[in-house]
Amino acid sequence: MKKLLVLLFSLVIALSVTACKPEEKTLVIFQNKVEIDTVLRDYATAWGAKNNVKVEVKTCGGDTCAYGTQILAEFQANKQPDIFVIEGMGGYNIYKDKILDLTGEPWVSNTDLEFMVSGKVYGFPVAVEGWGMAYNKELLVAAGVDIDALKVVSQAEYAAVFEQVKNYFAANNMPNHAVVSMAAASGMHWVTGLHNFNGYLSAGLAYNDSNVITKLNNGEVDAARLAQLADWAELLFKYADKSILTTGTYDDQVGKFAKGEAAFLHQGNWTDSSYKDSKFTMGYLPHATMAENNDSIFIGAPSYYVINKDTNMSAEAKLFLSDLAATNEGHDYMVNKANMVPAFNSVTLKPKTPLSAAVMEWNQAGKAYAWWQNDMPADFGMGTLGPIYELFAKGEITKAQFITNVTAAIDAVK
């Protein structure tokens, strides 16, 4: 009995001694881009060594890990990260009680894409991304299309170009070639329900004009814009590769374009990693969501780093973010290591990948339509609009039914 007591006693002492050791500070970053996990980890370790902070990078994203679900679980389990990621207004509304006000941070003056709510800055733009109609220059030139004439484009012009390319394929016995590579099946609802539908929310409007998205969130429909969107979707579906459109996966869709078998691709610059073996020149042209005068591609910051209000590491977290935007190491990491397009004017490095360079070019020319798709109610784009697009793509509903269904879906928002 006495021996046991002695043992217990020494155990207690040992434990309390370990507990009294000076605690090492750990900055926890919980982010959602699987593809930059390793490079971010390397950058963070180097930064941490320099600033005497231990940085832990946790990643959850892609097909195998649902970031939204996982971050919720981390918060519920009280394992709160210091820096985490939100995607626009939807994420802000969920986490607004947890997000630190970043107004006045040094990087804010170097960007137009910071995340703001009623005049206060909350989010650090992780990167700029953009999408439009990616084109294969060689195919278009061979088909006799004047690309520069399409920089300000109408639906009628696209209809003519699509027909011209289609005839070129037919005349030259290229049956494997598709005019447009686009996917609308389950699993690809983000291409239609979010990216294509964003045209309805922002095309032809000033970058900060939130009038249409505000109306949508109040359950009001802009019938004229919706009719033009439906025309555009119909045009795309008509010239899209049928099998990819109705059953294709991301790899099928992007692969078609990467192999040089599609003249146009309905995707963003994140597809750059698929073009290592592609031997053609590519660039972006605007979507013709509106009938006339489409002159910009959709550019925005898909996600923002935000700082947890309840952390005791807020000084370190702020420093981490401002160093990312201000130091050469930060720029090198963003542009060269992570292949991202930085949102900051202070960055002079140019992306090496073709579509990212194209996005940067459109952005510098000031030709950008905003991203409002993430400000729609949770799951509205992918869960509600995606299936409607899918049926329209398969020809199971008409254009009129497409419009009625989208109208009814928006009506139900309120």
What type of residue is 285?
L
Q: Which span sits near other proteins by CB under 8 A: 13-21, 52-60, 69-77, 151-159?
A: 69-77
Look at phi and psi of residue 300 and say left if phi exceeds 0, alpha if psi is from -120 to 50, else beta. beta
Burial of 264 (0-12, 13-18, 19+ CB in 10 A): buried
Gap between the Cα atoms of 326 and 91, Å rounded? 26
Q: Which of 227, 326, 397, 413 binds other proteins (CB under 8 A)?
A: 397
Please report whether residue 100 would count as binding other proteins according to CB under 8 A.
no
CB of 386 to other proteins, least distance (A): 8
CB of 132 to other proteins, least distance (A): 26
Please report whether residue 396 would count as binding other proteins according to CB under 8 A.
yes
Please report whether residue 405 would count as binding other proteins according to CB under 8 A.
yes
Please report whether residue 383 would count as binding other proteins according to CB under 8 A.
yes
CB of 252 to other proteins, least distance (A): 9
CB of 166 to other proteins, least distance (A): 23
Query: Which tokens sit at 34?
Result: 């699987």
Query: Which tokens sit at 252?
Result: 């099928």
Pick 93 or 345: Cβ nearer other proteins: 93
Gap between the Cα atoms of 368 and 203, Å rounded? 9
Please report whether residue 399 would count as binding other proteins according to CB under 8 A.
no
CB of 83 to other proteins, least distance (A): 18
Q: How many residues bind other proteins (CB under 8 A)?
A: 33
Gap between the Cα atoms of 90 and 254, Å rounded? 28
Pick 210 or 246: Cβ nearer other proteins: 246
Q: Which span sits near other proteins by CB under 8 A: 48-56, 148-156, 280-288, 372-380?
A: 372-380
Gap between the Cα atoms of 338 and 333, Å rounded? 6
Please report whether residue 408 would count as binding other proteins according to CB under 8 A.
yes
Rg of the chain on CA atoms, in Å: 24
Residue found by looking up tokens 């999408």 in the block: 131
Pick 364 or 404: Cβ nearer other proteins: 404
Q: Which residue, among 337, 316, 340, 304, has the nearest Cα to 28 in the 3D structure?
A: 316
Please report whether residue 75 would count as binding other proteins according to CB under 8 A.
yes
Please report whether residue 186 would count as binding other proteins according to CB under 8 A.
yes
Please report whether residue 187 would count as binding other proteins according to CB under 8 A.
yes
* Paired residues of 308 in beta bridges: 99
Q: Which span sits near other proteins by CB under 8 A: 15-23, 182-190, 228-236, 327-335?
A: 182-190
Pick 185 or 360: Cβ nearer other proteins: 185
Per CB under 8 A, which of residues 239..298 are in contact with other proteins? 246-247
CB of 287 to other proteins, least distance (A): 23
Gap between the Cα atoms of 158 and 126, Å rounded? 33
Cα 308 vs. chain centroid, distance in angstroms? 22
Please report whether residue 76 would count as binding other proteins according to CB under 8 A.
yes
Q: Which of 39, 66, 159, 326 binds other proteins (CB under 8 A)?
A: 66
Helix (H, G, I), strand (E, B) or coil at 159: helix
Pick 188 or 213: Cβ nearer other proteins: 188
What backbone torsions phi and psi does residue 123 show, to the nearest 5 degrees? -125, 145
Cβ-contact 113, 370 below 8 angstroms = no
The side-by-side arrangement of strands in the sheet containing 120-125 is 54-59, 26-31, 83-86, 304-307, 120-125, 115-117
Angle between helices 223-239 and 386-393 (to 10 degrees): 50
Gap between the Cα atoms of 195 and 221, Å rounded? 18
Gap between the Cα atoms of 211 and 35, Å rounded? 35
Pick 121 or 382: Cβ nearer other proteins: 382
Pick 95 or 135: Cβ nearer other proteins: 95
CB of 405 to other proteins, least distance (A): 5
Interface ranges with other proteins (CB under 8 A): 66, 68-69, 72, 75-76, 94-95, 97, 185-187, 189, 246-247, 377-379, 382-383, 386-388, 390-391, 394, 396-397, 401, 404-405, 408-409
